[in-house]
Structure 1
Amino acid sequence: MSKIDFRKKLVQYTLEKKQLTNVVARVGIVLDISGSMQTLYKNGTVQEVVERILAVASKFDDNGTLDVWVYDNEYSRLPSVTERDFGQYVDKHILNNDLIHKFGRNNEPPVMEDVIRKYTVEENDPTPVFIIFINDGGVVKSIKHTITHSAVQPIFWQFVGIGNSNFEVLKRLDTMEGRIVDNASFFHLDDIAAVSDENLYDQLLNEFPMWIKAAKEQRIIRP
């Protein structure tokens, strides 16, 4: 069994455990490419993260497609990735792509606005959107406005903090007021490469079911 097939089986197990087997969702990943992330890009960790998240998209999305963004103080929307073309994705589309701005400072709202634009303007569709947002610290406080503004949209933001930086802004996501539903969650991993696939999928999908239920009740997504 290939690694991607094994991971898909683990995702299926997690979906069954969390009663998400009947959920169809569009899946995207937003990758921090600020200066402090250089080592993780160059040692293959980010490529591995893309492959691990692709297994989630393969089970949730009808066409098995994972949408991809990278950002520092600028952002790029990259070609989507599938099981057919994930090999060397990071090298080909990011590290060896001179058009990608990389290893600057971080600024989250512009890339988040592009995510919202893609799923609510370009592809206006009530199908739930599950965004996995990888960040290694220093998130700007103005993301609170973007998250609050997008609470009426069919988008759930799952932030994953990696490393040992300051994640105070992200830690307060669950207690943010002024939203029709709680549309964002956060968990922290010191070393994402050391976390098992099973553990990663369990944490990634921990709060998504609660958002699905609340979003249906508020008719943000179809009941």
Structure 2
Amino acid sequence: MEEPILSTIDLRKKTVKNALIKKEMVHVKARVGIVIDISGSMLPLYGNGTVQEVVERILAIACHFDDNASLDVWVYDQYFSRLPEATEKNFDTYVVDHILNNTNIHKFGMNNEPPVMEDVIHKYINEENSDLPVFIIFINDGGVVKSIKKVIANASVQPIFWQFVGIGYSDFKVLKNLDTMEGRVVDNANFIHLNDIRVVNDETLYDRLLNEFPSWIKEAKLKRIIR
């Protein structure tokens, strides 16, 4: 009997599961969100399908961690928008339907990260407080404002881990110094740099995205930030 041909999202879910097995995280539950830069320099990546593929690749992580198999989504430039959840039912045209064709979203302006970060915190801490940890993937293609450091430091007592992903060829000076930031209860943020995320295979991407989340979970439990 021939095995059924798996869809792209099913293949990616399988790759995520393998990564979680290696990291002894297969039974971990978490809420998952993605924050996507929509400043002017990101326009080509929305146009060529890169952002759509990123949503699908991150959704595969959410399908394992989140009981509802859904991915919370934000976009931001100098303003931010909290969008409908991405799921296996709507992901295939998510960027066109909910971002590019959404006239309520401010698009392709300047970047300003703290307001959207504060909204992420507000959603998970004030609106939907839970015992579950939160895993945020933050996609950015250029320099971030330095004041994100204060937001990250203040959020170190919250059950939120920030995984920043730099794409493109900026120097990402602020994000590169996240691991050495002082004044935090736990190290609650990590940064990886991918010049061209399209050429990074799923196995490598998931291994790098999930590299520091396990150690944060252990430390956050020791500090009683999460159960």
Q: Does 1:17 align with 2:22?
A: yes
Superposed CA offset, 1:32-89 (max 9, x none): 0000000000110000000000000001101101000000000000000111111110
Superposed CA offset, 1:1-33 (max 9, x none): 111110000000000001111210000000000
Q: 2:195 aligns with which of 173, 190, 193?
A: 190
What's the counterpart of residue 184 of structure 2?
Answer: 179
Unaligned runs of 5+ in 1: none
Preserved CA contact (<8 Å) 1:133 1:160: yes
What's the counterpart of residue 134 of structure 1?
Answer: 139
RMSD between aligned residues: 0.5
- Partner letter of residue 80 of structure 2? Y
SS of structure 2 residue aligned to 1:116? helix
Task: Using structure 2 for the length normalisation, give the TM-score.
Answer: 0.97
- Partner letter of residue 182 of structure 1? D
Q: How many residues align?
A: 222
- Partner letter of residue 175 of structure 1? T
What's the counterpart of residue 3 of structure 2?
Answer: none
Q: How does 1:50-89 map to 2 (within 5 A)?
A: 50-89=55-94
Question: What is the distance in 2 between the residues matched to 1:82 and 1:91?
Answer: 15
What's the counterpart of residue 205 of structure 1?
Answer: 210
What's the counterpart of residue 8 of structure 1?
Answer: 13
Q: CA deviation at 1:189?
A: 0.2
Q: Does 1:29 align with 2:28?
A: no
Preserved CA contact (<8 Å) 1:126 1:220: no
- Partner letter of residue 60 of structure 2? A
Q: Does 1:166 align with 2:171?
A: yes
Question: What is the distance in 1 between the residues matched to 2:103 and 2:171?
Answer: 30
- Partner letter of residue 35 of structure 2? V
- Partner letter of residue 123 of structure 2? K
Task: Using structure 1 for the length normalisation, give the TM-score.
Answer: 0.99
- Partner letter of residue 17 of structure 1? K
Q: CA deviation at 1:137?
A: 1.0
Question: What is the distance in 2 between the residues matched to 1:81 and 1:185?
Answer: 24
Question: What is the distance in 1 between the residues matched to 2:38 and 2:198?
Answer: 17
- Partner letter of residue 3 of structure 1? T
Unaligned runs of 5+ in 2: 1-5
Superposed CA offset, 1:64-120 (max 9, x none): 010000000000000001111111100011111111000000000000000000000
Question: What is the distance in 2 between the residues matched to 1:74 and 1:131?
Answer: 19
Q: CA deviation at 1:131?
A: 0.1
Q: CA deviation at 1:166?
A: 2.2
Q: 2:44 aligns with which of 17, 39, 55?
A: 39
Provide the identity percentage: 71
SS of structure 2 residue aligned to 1:87? helix
Superposed CA offset, 1:165-219 (max 9, x none): 1200000000001111000000100000110011000000000000000000000
Question: What is the distance in 2 between the residues matched to 1:160 and 1:138?
Answer: 12
